[in-house]
Amino acid sequence: MTQSGLRPAAGFHNNSAFMTKPLNRLRRELSAGQMAMVAVGGSIGTGLLLGSGAAIQIAGPSVILSYIVGGLIAFAVTMALGEMSSLHPAAGSFGVYADTYLNPWAGFVSRYGYWFAVVISISAELVASATYARFWLPQVPALVWIAIYAAMLLFINLRTVGDFGSFEYWLAMIKVVVITAFITIGAALLVGGKVDAHYTAHGGFLPRGAVGPLLALSFVLFNYLGTEMVAISSGEARSAGEIPRATYISFSLLTFVYLFASTVLVGVVPWNRVGTSESPFVTVFEVARVPAISHIMNFVALTAALSGSNASLYVTSRMLYSLAESGFAPAKLTKLTSTGSPRWAVLVSASGIFVALLVQYAAPQNAYLYIIGASLFGGLLAWCIALASHIAMRKRLSSQQVAALPMRAPGGAVASLIALAAITSIVISTWWVPQSRITIVSAGPYLLFLTVFYVLMKKNKAANRMAP
């Protein structure tokens, strides 16, 4: 324990060393805008553009309420992470905070659980990217496109983090611009009376009853997963002042996209016609008679998938780098290239892409659904541990220390406690939602696997940290 009463972060003799070490030797090149767009790119994948029907099928028009409640929960998580990352900028973000304020097990489980979860999502986005490319060139095998995109992602992630940030910024911006156009066009159709509003049609605003919007929350939170990427990228921010700005920008953009897009969507398209076979976005643009809509949306879906997989590869590599710094992964994963990229951490994370692809092609469909369910649980587990770390941090800080924080989370520990209880309840509620029941079913085995893995890796921790 230090004089301030705070246990030093893993890998540091004291918290002063933690704050003065040159950010794990990673380069400080990311601007607030780039950090924000990494989070936006990681959050807005093909799920919103092509698979946004699941929550609407459960809640109907009242999915709007789901996005409001989900937004409040995500706000608490985002602000808690922003507060901690502004004080402790680190590549391992919530894992380092858990090490510091909870215990090594929590830090290990949150980082490895998140790594496994996000690696799976990289695979899903790459497979989707190949599908979109074959829309124009069906004669080219999907595996060829996957190989091309995987090579492109490796090339981007092995360059300087500034180059990565610039590429991801513009790739994610395409999604934001198109979704903004969707919101504008849809709102114009509704306000101008070009279409009848369907907010109370086909069973009313609550066609599934008051429980509908609550049961849809698991899908809504899945959309918000990615907001934590600002904290993960904080170890490479140009300055501490960039972190609060990036936090506010990313959350504002995501709230605008999700809340207004869902409001327009259920107004223009009857909720009982929204499915997963065709993107609801395509339906709205067709109503507005936008020319060449199939080609436009296919291009947007392709960029969405590539942006999501690019951001995900970046954060998974930083998670492995952080684990190696803490001694829970081989020290070789901390080695940097001349451009400042953790090459081996990137390559190991990329290898997970091909493992997950093998599962997708070789395993039965239900087996892959189990992995996706575990992916959702892994992401929410990281959120829960981050909130618990924030609560513990606030308990240890004096009122003077809280007042001096570079960024303060509204509501403090109380808001984090409410959000933690809400997320736990939502995970439990998936038992009553067939489409997402696997989330709660996979929770026990997932935690058991990570705990056993922790015990095994703990035995090698000293050797890893002593390795050259």
Tokens 């030093």: give the residue. 8
Q: Can you state the percent helix, strand and coil of the chain, rounding each to 5?
A: 75, 0, 25
Of 123, 11, 56, nearest in space to 359 by CA: 123
Domain limits of the chain? Answer: 31-324+333-460
Q: Which residues pair with 237 in a beta bridge?
A: 30
Helices (H), 327-364: 343-362
Contact 84, 110 (CB under 8 A): no
pLDDT band at residue 8, thresholds of 50, 70 and 90? very low
Q: What's CA 90's distance to the chain center, in Å?
A: 17
Give the three-class secondary structure for 203.
coil
Tens digits of per-residue pLDDT, 223-268? Answer: 888 889 998 998 899 988 899 999 999 999 999 988 998 899 899 8
pLDDT band at residue 467, thresholds of 50, 70 and 90? low
Average pLDDT rounded to a whole number, residues 394-405:
92
Residue 79, pLDDT score: 95
> What pTM, to 2 d.p., does this model score?
0.87
Tens digits of per-residue pLDDT, 282-313? Answer: 667 776 777 777 788 778 888 888 998 999 99
Tens digits of per-residue pLDDT, 178-204? Answer: 889 888 988 998 998 888 899 998 899
Tens digits of per-residue pLDDT, 70-117? Answer: 999 999 999 999 999 988 888 878 889 999 999 999 999 999 999 988
Cβ neighbours for 5, distance < 8 A, ≥ 6 positions apart: 396
| 13 has pLDDT over 50 | no
Q: What is the CATH number of domain 31-324+333-460?
A: 1.20.1740.10
